[in-house]
């Protein structure tokens, strides 16, 4: 069985089929991209994977275990982290606090220990901070360590969200439109980071993206969706040459 598999998954809102019998699998160390016009069901698939939505039918499996029924807060612990399309950071906290929340799935201390701040909590805190500093170093975020998120520019927040996901030391990271709202330079940086996440940290990347030049530069394989259905999958150039995909984008 492969690293991560989506098997015949569907999601229905009332009469609308947001995701319709989608299957694909991602192998370890791959950068896998989902493309498709607006409303094609890309983000819905992410929400299904991070278990915010319950699928109407189909299975999800990760590292040989079935995760279709796992509650959402345990997904991070299994090693799947995500970012959000419209940025869901903790606005009124510092960046450091945000990244430390990313470490939450590794928290081991009990409530009473936290309340009394036992030596074990202090030790754990230091370990968390060490890991967070590595991520800050990796994504070049030193300047913002103690800044409150609410005052930071959009581009920086986007990177911080990636950083928060990395802090949980995931095996699979889901990036929901990492380049949306970024300028050309920032998009370039993002493409380098995405490749580094794979090559340096060894994390498998599954992303949703609209910017085709970014997709071409980083992805190993691409899946095209429209109206919740799979149109095509394969290498970036294969998918872009596929007649159905061209039709979906140009509306022919």
Q: Does 16 bind other proteins (CB under 8 A)?
A: no
Which of 2, 27, 54, 72 binds other proteins (CB under 8 A)? It is 72
Write each residue from 38 to 57 as x if it is in contact with other proteins (CB under 8 A), else as -, in one continuous string.
-----x---x--x-x-----
Considering only CA atoms, which of 22, 64, 71, 14 is closest in space to residue 43?
22
Which of 5, 33, 168, 187 binds other proteins (CB under 8 A)? It is 168
Q: Does 85 bind other proteins (CB under 8 A)?
A: yes
Nearest-angstrom CA–CA distance, 33 and 249? 16
- Our CB check for other proteins shows the closer of 31 and 166 to be 166
The CA-based dihedral angle spanning residues 203, 99, 179, 208, taken in that order and rounded to the nearest 10 degrees: 50
Q: Look up residue 177 and give its two tokens.
A: 């439109």
Q: Give the CA count within 13 Å in the CB-facing half-sphere of 103.
A: 21
Q: Taking the complex as a whole, how short is the minimal distance between the CB of residue 175 and other proteins, in angstroms?
A: 13
Which of 16, 122, 202, 243 binds other proteins (CB under 8 A)? It is 122
Which residues, other chains included, contact 106 with Cβ-Cβ below 8 Å and sequence gap of 6+? Answer: 128, 168, 169
- Our CB check for other proteins shows the closer of 151 and 251 to be 151
Nearest-angstrom CA–CA distance, 142 and 33? 29
Nearest-angstrom CA–CA distance, 73 and 52? 9
Binding region for other proteins (CB under 8 A) out of 21-29, 126-134, 196-204, 220-228:
126-134
Nearest-angstrom CA–CA distance, 24 and 123? 42
- Our CB check for other proteins shows the closer of 128 and 198 to be 128
Binding residues for other proteins (CB under 8 A): 43, 47, 50, 52, 71-77, 81-82, 84-86, 88-93, 96-97, 100-105, 107, 109, 111, 113-117, 121-122, 124-126, 128-130, 164, 168
């Amino acid at each position: 069985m492969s690293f991560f598999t989506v098997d015949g998954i569907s999601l229905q809102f009332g009469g609308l089929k947001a995701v319709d019998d989608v299957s694909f699998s991602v192998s370890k160390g791959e950068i896998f991209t989902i493309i498709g016009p607006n409303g094609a069901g890309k983000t819905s698939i992410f929400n299904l994977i991070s278990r915010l939505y319950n699928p109407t039918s189909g299975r999800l499996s990760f590292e040989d275990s079935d995760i279709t029924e796992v509650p959402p807060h345990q997904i991070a612990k299994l090693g799947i982290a995500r970012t959000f399309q419209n940025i869901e950071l903790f606005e009124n906290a510092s960046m450091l606090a945000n990244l430390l929340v990313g470490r939450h799935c590794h928290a081991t201390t009990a409530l009473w220990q936290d309340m009394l701040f036992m030596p074990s909590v202090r030790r754990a805190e230091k370990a968390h901070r060490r890991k967070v500093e590595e991520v800050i170093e990796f994504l070049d975020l030193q300047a913002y360590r103690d800044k409150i998120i609410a005052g930071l520019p959009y581009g920086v927040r986007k990177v911080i969200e990636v950083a928060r996901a990395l802090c949980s030391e995931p095996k699979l990271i889901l990036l929901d439109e990492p380049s949306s709202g970024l300028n050309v330079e920032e998009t370039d940086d993002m493409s380098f980071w995405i490749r580094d996440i794979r090559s340096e940290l060894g994390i498998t990347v599954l992303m949703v993206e609209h910017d085709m030049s970014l997709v071409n530069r980083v992805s190993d394989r691409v899946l095209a969706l429209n109206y919740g259905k799979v149109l095509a999958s394969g290498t970036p150039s294969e998918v872009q040459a596929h007649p159905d995909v061209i039709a979906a984008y140009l509306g022919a």
